[in-house]
Chain A
Amino acid sequence: AQSVTQLDSHVSVSEGTPVLLRCNYSSSYSPSLFWYVQHPNKGLQLLLKYTSAATLVKGINGFEAEFKKSETSFHLTKPSAHMSDAAEYFCVVSGLSGNTPLVFGKGTRLSVIA
């Protein structure tokens, strides 16, 4: 079955320092992978997606993620955190077959300290 594990439920960084949000996935085939961001009391917004093209994927707001098949990982990074990056981040993997929904991780809450 498809699954994702977000390794940290909460990450705290200082403004201007790098961000690393970790995600491991389990899939019976080469999956599509996504990162979404959710600000408080809002819907989710797509940050970036990997669909078997380049392994390094660039997204919005300076975020990027690297697909590493050997490590079954899809970690999200940003060189320098901004206060506006404080939010909940979800790692997502495609479903088991072509007609099943995406599978969401439990989320990582990012706090940015001034």
Chain B
Amino acid sequence: DGGITQSPKYLFRKEGQNVTLSCEQNLNHDAMYWYRQDPGQGLRLIYYSQIVNDFQKGDIAEGYSVSREKKESFPLTVTSAQKNPTAFYLCASSLGVGEGYGYTFGSGTRLTVV
């Protein structure tokens, strides 16, 4: 079955450490996205990528980094510069960026800083 796989489902990090969240899709989608979800704030866009080796900052990119070396993969690194990283992180993909293209979402990774 085609879909998006996020791993791990739960992740604990000590303050001051970087951590990388994995996102893999086998839908042959060109575009991929990372969102952060906090209670009552909806989804906020961190980074998105329209094509391999290209990505753009979203609304809350500070303290995060991404890479897009393969079409199938769009890992997100939460760096020690991110002041409040505890949140639910969602990865999504679509055929393209723009109107009319609905997104397919992964099941999410819950990151907790301890």
Q: Hey, which bits of chain A sit against chain B, CB under 8 A?
A: 9, 31-32, 34, 36, 41-46, 49, 51, 90, 94-95, 97-102, 104-107
Please, could you name 17 A-B residue pairs with CB atoms under 8 Å apart, sorted by A? A9-B40, A32-B99, A43-B6, A43-B106, A44-B90, A44-B105, A46-B104, A49-B102, A95-B97, A95-B98, A97-B98, A98-B97, A98-B98, A99-B97, A101-B48, A102-B103, A107-B42
B42–A101 touching, CB < 8 Å: no
Contact count A vs B, C-beta below 8 Å:
64
Q: Are B99 and A51 in contact (CB under 8 A)?
A: yes
Nearest CB in chain A: distance from B43 CB, A: 4
Measured in the bound complex, the distance between the Cα atoms of B43 and A107 in whole Å is 9
Q: Is the CB of A43 within 8 A of B98?
A: no
**Interface size counted on chain B using CB atoms at 8 A:** 27
Closest 4 CB pairs of A and B: A94-B99, A43-B105, A106-B42, A98-B98
